[in-house]
Structure 1
Amino acid sequence: MATTASTVPDTKALDGIHQQLQRRDLLPDEHYLDSGYPSADLIVASARPTASP
Protein backbone atom coordinates (compact mmCIF):
# COMPACT_ATOMS: atom_id res chain seq x y z
CA MET A 1 0.00 0.00 0.00
CA ALA A 2 1.19 3.50 -0.76
CA THR A 3 -0.43 6.83 -0.08
CA THR A 4 0.10 9.69 -2.51
CA ALA A 5 -1.51 13.00 -3.39
CA SER A 6 -4.75 12.65 -5.31
CA THR A 7 -3.10 14.08 -8.42
CA VAL A 8 -0.50 11.28 -8.61
CA PRO A 9 -1.63 8.49 -10.97
CA ASP A 10 -1.41 4.92 -9.64
CA THR A 11 1.12 4.09 -12.35
CA LYS A 12 3.62 6.57 -10.86
CA ALA A 13 3.57 4.74 -7.52
CA LEU A 14 3.80 1.23 -8.98
CA ASP A 15 7.60 1.04 -9.44
CA GLY A 16 8.27 1.86 -5.79
CA ILE A 17 5.65 -0.61 -4.61
CA HIS A 18 7.08 -3.37 -6.79
CA GLN A 19 10.63 -2.66 -5.60
CA GLN A 20 9.53 -2.97 -1.96
CA LEU A 21 7.62 -6.19 -2.68
CA GLN A 22 10.58 -7.65 -4.58
CA ARG A 23 12.96 -6.95 -1.66
CA ARG A 24 10.61 -9.02 0.51
CA ASP A 25 10.19 -11.72 -2.18
CA LEU A 26 6.46 -10.91 -2.32
CA LEU A 27 5.93 -9.89 -5.95
CA PRO A 28 2.43 -10.90 -7.06
CA ASP A 29 1.79 -13.02 -10.15
CA GLU A 30 -0.79 -10.42 -11.15
CA HIS A 31 -1.16 -6.84 -9.96
CA TYR A 32 -4.37 -4.93 -10.58
CA LEU A 33 -4.62 -1.17 -10.42
CA ASP A 34 -6.52 1.68 -11.95
CA SER A 35 -4.06 3.40 -14.25
CA GLY A 36 -6.57 5.75 -15.82
CA TYR A 37 -4.64 5.94 -19.08
CA PRO A 38 -2.33 2.97 -19.65
CA SER A 39 0.38 3.35 -22.29
CA ALA A 40 2.17 0.79 -24.41
CA ASP A 41 5.44 1.67 -22.63
CA LEU A 42 3.85 1.00 -19.24
CA ILE A 43 2.46 -2.37 -20.33
CA VAL A 44 5.80 -3.48 -21.81
CA ALA A 45 7.78 -2.27 -18.79
CA SER A 46 5.46 -4.01 -16.33
CA ALA A 47 5.95 -7.32 -18.14
CA ARG A 48 9.75 -7.19 -17.77
CA PRO A 49 11.34 -8.77 -14.70
CA THR A 50 13.13 -6.19 -12.57
CA ALA A 51 16.79 -6.50 -11.66
CA SER A 52 17.60 -7.66 -8.14
CA PRO A 53 19.14 -4.98 -5.91
Structure 2
Amino acid sequence: MPYTTEEGGRLNNFAVEPKVYTAEPPTKNQIRNYIILGVGAVVLVVGLFAVAIGVS
Protein backbone atom coordinates (compact mmCIF):
# COMPACT_ATOMS: atom_id res chain seq x y z
CA MET A 1 0.00 0.00 0.00
CA PRO A 2 1.45 3.40 -0.88
CA TYR A 3 2.16 5.66 2.05
CA THR A 4 4.20 8.71 2.97
CA THR A 5 5.97 9.58 6.20
CA GLU A 6 5.00 12.97 7.61
CA GLU A 7 6.72 15.10 10.24
CA GLY A 8 7.10 13.27 13.53
CA GLY A 9 7.19 9.85 11.86
CA ARG A 10 3.44 9.57 11.25
CA LEU A 11 2.39 7.44 8.31
CA ASN A 12 -0.21 8.71 5.83
CA ASN A 13 -1.86 5.90 3.84
CA PHE A 14 -3.49 6.47 0.46
CA ALA A 15 -6.05 4.28 -1.28
CA VAL A 16 -5.03 2.44 -4.43
CA GLU A 17 -6.29 4.45 -7.38
CA PRO A 18 -8.39 2.60 -9.95
CA LYS A 19 -7.29 2.24 -13.55
CA VAL A 20 -8.58 5.14 -15.68
CA TYR A 21 -10.21 4.44 -19.03
CA THR A 22 -12.28 6.40 -21.53
CA ALA A 23 -15.95 5.67 -21.97
CA GLU A 24 -17.07 4.17 -25.25
CA PRO A 25 -20.22 5.33 -27.03
CA PRO A 26 -23.16 2.93 -26.84
CA THR A 27 -23.64 0.41 -29.62
CA LYS A 28 -26.78 0.24 -31.77
CA ASN A 29 -28.03 -2.70 -29.70
CA GLN A 30 -27.56 -0.75 -26.43
CA ILE A 31 -29.34 2.30 -27.87
CA ARG A 32 -32.27 0.08 -28.89
CA ASN A 33 -32.41 -1.40 -25.39
CA TYR A 34 -32.35 2.08 -23.81
CA ILE A 35 -35.26 3.17 -25.99
CA ILE A 36 -37.28 0.05 -25.13
CA LEU A 37 -36.64 0.53 -21.40
CA GLY A 38 -37.53 4.23 -21.64
CA VAL A 39 -40.82 3.49 -23.40
CA GLY A 40 -41.60 0.82 -20.81
CA ALA A 41 -40.92 3.27 -17.98
CA VAL A 42 -43.17 5.91 -19.54
CA VAL A 43 -45.97 3.36 -20.00
CA LEU A 44 -45.60 2.27 -16.36
CA VAL A 45 -45.75 5.84 -15.02
CA VAL A 46 -48.72 6.79 -17.22
CA GLY A 47 -50.48 3.60 -16.12
CA LEU A 48 -49.88 4.41 -12.45
CA PHE A 49 -51.30 7.90 -12.94
CA ALA A 50 -54.33 6.45 -14.72
CA VAL A 51 -54.97 4.02 -11.86
CA ALA A 52 -54.53 6.78 -9.28
CA ILE A 53 -56.99 9.03 -11.13
CA GLY A 54 -59.42 6.15 -11.61
CA VAL A 55 -59.38 5.22 -7.93
CA SER A 56 -59.87 8.76 -6.71
> TM-score if structure 1 supplies the norm length?
0.27
- Which protein shows a greater Rg? 2
More strand by share: 2
> TM-score if structure 2 supplies the norm length?
0.26
